[in-house]
Amino acid sequence: MKVSYFETGRYVSPPDLPREWPVPAGSYNPETGAEAYRGMVERVRFVEELGFDWVSVSEHHYSPRILTPSPIVSAAYLAARVDKIKIAMLGPIVPVSNPIRIAEEVAMLDTMAPGRIVVGLLRGTTNEYLSYDLNPKESRERTDEGMELILKAWTEPQPFGWQGRYFQYRTVSVWPRPHLSRTRRPMPSAPARKPANLPRAIGSASASPTGHSS
């Protein structure tokens, strides 16, 4: 049996903090935010000592409830401060991101912390698309194309061009590259009743540079 801990980087909200989304940025307190990240490290060190197999961090925007808009930054921050526990990223959210940037930064993480990074690239939810002013109806196609491009960037030995519907690149040649022996292809995703609300992952349960299944 494997045991995981989900870390939110939760911001301790004052009682009068607005509950709507998005939460007004003027309500943010810098010291409370810094304490949220210090607490994140303390909790992850604690669960590492308890013998947990991995810690998960996710991507959410415009809210103090999960104060991790960048799972790659969260994973790098934690990887530098804990020694053994694996770090699973529930993100980045592909349709709102630059796929080549994802490929490069995940490869960096895999090189800096070999064997400790598990990646779950997601489709995300409607509020994430609204954060970046994208059409939710395009989310599935954007995710499919972005994931295909990321996997090709990790595995193609020669520079290549990409002229897709949503992403166009004259030349792609990613450095560094992830450990290819640990890269897995994505599994098919289940059909969605409401396409804009179904996450799609290639990660701990389907494909990752580290290739560790949950």
Q: Could you tell me the CATH number of the domain that includes residue 26? A: 3.20.20.30
Tens of pLDDT, residues 17-42: 888 888 899 999 999 999 999 999 99
Model pTM score: 0.82
Domain of 14? 4-197
Residue 46 in domain: yes
The predicted structure's pLDDT at residue 182: 52
Q: What is the pLDDT of residue 18?
A: 82
What pLDDT is stored for residue 121 in this prediction?
92
Closest CA to 146 of 125, 127, 168: 168
Indicate whether 177 belongs to any domain: yes
Q: What is the 3-state secondary structure (H, E, C) of 87-139?
A: EEEEEEEHHHCCHHHHHHHHHHHHHHCCCCEEEEEECCCHHHHHHCCCCHHHH
Q: Which residues of the chain have pLDDT under 70?
A: 180-214
Domain total in the chain:
1
Predicted confidence at residue 131, as pLDDT, reads 86
Residue 92 maps to a domain = yes
Residue 154 near residue 174 (C-beta atoms within 8 A) = yes
Q: Residue 213 falls within a domain, yes or no?
A: no
Which pLDDT value is given to residue 115?
92
pLDDT of residue 29: 93
According to DSSP, residue 166 is labeled: S
Is residue 54 a part of any domain in this protein? yes
pLDDT of residue 46: 97
Whether residue 142 lies inside any domain: the answer is: yes
pLDDT tens-digit series, residues 157-192: 999 999 999 999 999 999 999 986 555 554 433 333
pLDDT of residue 208: 40
Give a yes or no: residue 202 inside a domain: no
Q: What is the pLDDT of residue 184?
A: 53
Domain membership of residue 120 (yes or no) is yes
